[in-house]
Amino acid sequence: MLKSVWIFCAASLILIGCGTGYNATSGGNSGGGGANYAGQAQGVYSGTSSSGYHFSTIVLPSDKFYAIYGTVSGNALLLSGLVTGQGTSGNGTYTASVTDYTNTGAIDSGSISATYVAATSLKGTLTENGTAITVNATWEPASSFNYNTSASVSAITGTWTGTFLDGMTTTVTVNSNGSVSGASSGCSFSGTVAADSSNKNFFDVSLTFGASPCSQPNQTATGIAVVYLLPDGVTHDLLAAVTAGTSFGTVFAAVR
């Protein structure tokens, strides 16, 4: 998302190639006339909203939508929330029903209506609780984050220290076989991470939380992750967004 935080080649939360085209997928949603448009809006975009937040967005080949938003401090994005939902793209229009998980624990439902130019821009409106927020985002260039290449687990193997959306400090270890383990304030969790089969630059993530004091005891959350390089050319950012239905959602953000 953000050029300062998503450069999501933004964590990977976030998408490698020349960045001038798109690939449609077979199956998925279809547009008018029976044509298959799923994946036309796919990619990583970053920008600002009328509410004053910076955000980074990834639209998957399936048209699933993830966005993290917050405020920028130096090279860091101070997370305020995660918006995610299943969308439909076609003929330059993207729509989705979404859920907004905030760092205060509040959960709101809403919708997105946007126009896109493939591999160029995504502009539109997020509506929640009767309030419309305009968003304006542009495609992340390959020099920042190369969406059109395959993700590799070797790029994120090792130990990461960061925070969840609620601000709790967390340590996560990713093994070379894709197994994941971690702990935060007495809550342990484990899971898996794997490069997505689309050969795009994001990972599929599954995390299962342990018993109390975990806020989601014995529940499994799924989502995606991205890793990208910050402008200093040395520091890597890892962003992972996971949800369990519409009742729970969080983001793990870490650097090393």
> DSSP state, 32?
G
User: What pLDDT sits at residue 6?
Assistant: 33
Mean pLDDT of successive 10-residue stretches along the chain, which has 256 residues: 32 29 33 64 95 94 96 81 96 97 96 95 96 95 87 96 93 97 95 98 97 94 91 83 96 91
* CATH T-level topology, domain 32-139: Lipocalin (2.40.128)
Indicate the SS3 state at residue 5: coil
Q: Are 28 and 39 in contact, with CB atoms under 8 Å apart?
A: yes
CATH of region 153-255, choose from 3.30.460.10, 3.30.70.2740, 2.40.30.60, 2.40.128.10: 2.40.128.10
CA distances from 120 to 55, 116, 153 (A): 16, 7, 28
Full-model pTM: 0.85
Output the six-digit token pair for 25.
Answer: 């997928």
What sign has the CA pseudo-torsion 152, 155, 159, 161? negative
Greatest distance between any 2 Cα atoms in the chain: 54
> Per-residue pLDDT tens for 102-112?
999 999 999 99
Residue 1's Cβ-side half-sphere holds a number of Cα atoms within 13 Å equal to: 35
Residues forming CATH 2.40.128.10 domain(s) in the chain: 153-255
User: What pLDDT sits at residue 74?
Assistant: 73
Strands 121-128 vs 107-117: parallel, antiparallel or unpaired: antiparallel
User: What pLDDT sits at residue 145?
Assistant: 87
Indicate the SS3 state at residue 63: coil
